[in-house]
Structure 1
Amino acid sequence: MDTPSAGHDTAATAEFREFYELHHAELARLANSLSGEADGADDLAADALVALWHRWDRVRAAAHPAAYARGVVANLVRSRIRSAVRERRRLALCWTDGHGRVDGPDVPAVVDVRAALRGLTFRKRACVVLRHAFDLSERDTAHTLGISVGTVKSQTAKGVAQLEQALGGAQPALGRARRA
């Protein structure tokens, strides 16, 4: 990005660099929290920033460019999760015994917050992570995910309840849903 490209002038390039410096780490943390994959989080954040750079004229004119960026990360994570699920289903078909059971041992996993988060639907996970790990208001979370505030409230409450159940009734570090 040393030279302006895609119709961007020097001022737009400098503005994007500043946006990148301010938000890259946050976007990587969000990708990690949503995907549960520390190794791929930086790649997801970078992919989101590349997409933002290609639409920078539109993004910089947005009322909340950071919220727009978080929405791009959420969509990329959702897409990656869907691809992984499809791949696991294909692999499971190859390794079943013909009766739908997978050959080999069923290794129990240690239950922790990340594993419990992976057990939530994407929308519940995104609401819980954005509200509690990133301390966004209900309104900002709704804006980021493109859903209503009411949906954020219900999905966060259901997600926290599901986490509490998965963690054996222990209060997760998330606490109760906060007010906007």
Structure 2
Amino acid sequence: MPELDAEYAFRRFFDDHHTDLSRLAYLVTGDSQASDDLAADAFVEVWRHWERVQSAQSPIAYARGIVTNLARQWIKRQSRERAGLLRLGLLRRDRGESDTPAIIDVRAALRRLPLRRRECVILRYAFDVPEREVATILGISIGAVKSHTSRGAAQLSEYLNGMPLMTGGHHG
């Protein structure tokens, strides 16, 4: 009955991590509908590679890597579609929209960060993932994680009207 054991283990993994993976997708994309779809798509991939996921040093890191890759692809697709619509003149960009001193929430500030910085800041601060694991998830060096996280935190802090952000480390 190894098939049933695998199914049970996968269901436990799903139950334990679905909310976190959906939240990760939401924080990276800023889109709640897309985040649920991306989390579901990620679990399809996790199930397809369940043996590899289970034997990974950190199954949740493996799953987070899938989510961030899917989110990155989704963002690229959205950007291409938006660029196409802008070229067709079907969407107008309101020049003053980012200049108005409005109440800026963290999600809006996060969306303004470049994607890699956003991913690093979210994984490090929202999910408390160690730098080494973030590097594995995103397929970049630990030095790059440190740099993106530091710069992203500084940028986020600026966006949030100069309020200092807890960085838990050195600045640089």
Task: State the TM-score, normalizing by the size of structure 1.
Answer: 0.84
Number of the residue aligned with 1:176: 167
Structure 1 moving runs of 4+ over 4 Å: 102-105
Report the counterpart of residue 68 of structure 1 in structure 2.
Answer: 62
Query: What letter is aligned with 1:75?
Result: N
In the TM superposition, 1:25-174 aligns within 5 A as 25-95=19-89, 105-106=94-95, 108=97, 110=102, 111-172=104-165
Q: Whose helix proportion is higher, 1 or 2?
A: 2
| 5+ long unaligned stretches in structure 2 | none
Gaps of 5+ in 1: 97-101
Q: Given that residues 86 and 92 in structure 2 are in contact (C-alpha distance below 8 angstroms), is that contact kept between their aligned partners in structure 1?
A: no
Q: Give the whole-Å Cα distance in 2 for the aligned partners of 1:40 and 1:167.
A: 25
Instruction: After TM superposition, give the deviation of residue 167 of structure 1 in Å.
Output: 2.0
Deviation at 1:106, TM superposition (A): 3.7
- Give the total of aligned pairs: 166
| Aligned residues: CA RMSD | 2.1
AA matched with 1:167: L
Equivalent residue, structure 1, for 2:18: 24
The answer to whether the Cα contact below 8 Å between 2:26 and 2:34 also exists between their aligned partners in 1 is yes
The residue type paired with residue 41 of structure 1 is S
**Offset of 1:37 from its aligned partner?**
1.1
TM-score by length of 2: 0.88
Shift of 1:178: 4.1
**Do the aligned partners of 1:20 and 1:49 also contact (CA within 8 Å) in 2?**
yes
Moved more, 131-140 or 78-87: 131-140
Instruction: Work out the CA distance in 2 between the residues paired with 1:164 and 1:65.
Output: 32
Give the greater-gyration-radius structure (CA).
1
Superposed displacement of residue 161, structure 1: 1.1
